[in-house]
Amino acid sequence: MTYRGSREPGAVQVSESLLGDLRQVNFWFRCEGELVPGVAYLPTGATEPMPLVLIQHPGMSSKDEYFVSEVGQRWAKRGWVCAGLDAPLHGERQEHDPMALFRRPERYEEVRAQFAREVAMALDVLPGHLPIDTARVGYVGYSLGSMLGIAAVARSGRFRAAAFCLVGEGGLAGSVSGPDSDAAKLGSVAVRIVGKLNDELIPRERTEALYAALSGERDLQWLPGGHFEIGPDVIRLAEEWMRLKL
């Protein structure tokens, strides 16, 4: 394992290890005083710029669990850099209290804005450490990862494609109406929405309202099952969209 980087504000710490034919790169950077942990996977020995897919975990999870770790390793073998961040209040964040996000709805916009700034900073710093083609950047989010990701992708302006899974308008995802709607600002992004027919948390009409608010290239896919059944079918549709659009 090798280490490089600085602990100074604004700098990036990097820890690398080998996983067979993949590199695992753990990284940390400071964004407005808070340390943001992340991980990336890419093929060993790769030097030519590759697409970046930012994968964001669902609520109560982290960058080190299945949706980022195992899926990211599998997708990296396609020739992608696959990365994920610990969302605010999750994983190795300074304050770990995942349920706090949902206990304080008055903070939803604050948290959306915070995560959007963190994603923007990740896109600033990662190309300096990893071989990333900055013109081919995608985002995949599951539940919480989508709720926060809509604003992050819309406000960044640097994503080519996004797959938002198990999400609808309102709540932590924000409203789709009004001048401050993030969904309305996704016109330059090819967006796939993946919904569950029996989602007990996100009513179908809210997913359809989010889809209707998209002004650019868009796609809506429905799968059987409930909100917490994020299985290979959901992952396959997200991977397919990244493969088609990056």
pLDDT computed for residue 178 by the predictor: 87
Across the beta sheet with 218-223, what order do the strands follow? Answer: 2-5, 12-19, 22-31, 34-43, 81-85, 50-56, 132-142, 161-165, 190-196, 218-223
Does residue 159 belong to any structural domain of this protein? yes
Measured distance CA(85)–CA(153) in Å, rounded: 14
Does residue 75 belong to any structural domain of this protein? yes
CATH number of the domain enclosing 223: 3.40.50.1820
Does residue 37 belong to any structural domain of this protein? no
Domain limits for position 235? 46-245
Q: Do 66 and 55 meet the contact criterion of CB atoms below 8 Å apart?
A: no
Does residue 17 belong to any structural domain of this protein? no
Does residue 125 belong to any structural domain of this protein? yes
State the total domains in the chain.
1
Does residue 171 belong to any structural domain of this protein? yes
pLDDT computed for residue 8 by the predictor: 55
Question: Helices 66-76 and 232-245: crossing angle, nearest 10°?
Answer: 40
- Rg over CA atoms, the chain: 17
Does residue 225 belong to any structural domain of this protein? yes
- State residue 235 phi and psi, 5-degree precision: -60, -40
pTM for the predicted model, two decimal places = 0.95
How many Cβ atoms from other residues are within 10 Å of residue 229's Cβ? 14
Does residue 13 belong to any structural domain of this protein? no
Mean pLDDT by 10 residues, the chain (246 residues): 46 93 97 95 96 97 97 98 97 92 91 97 96 98 98 98 98 92 96 98 98 97 97 98 98
Measured distance CA(121)–CA(114) in Å, rounded: 11
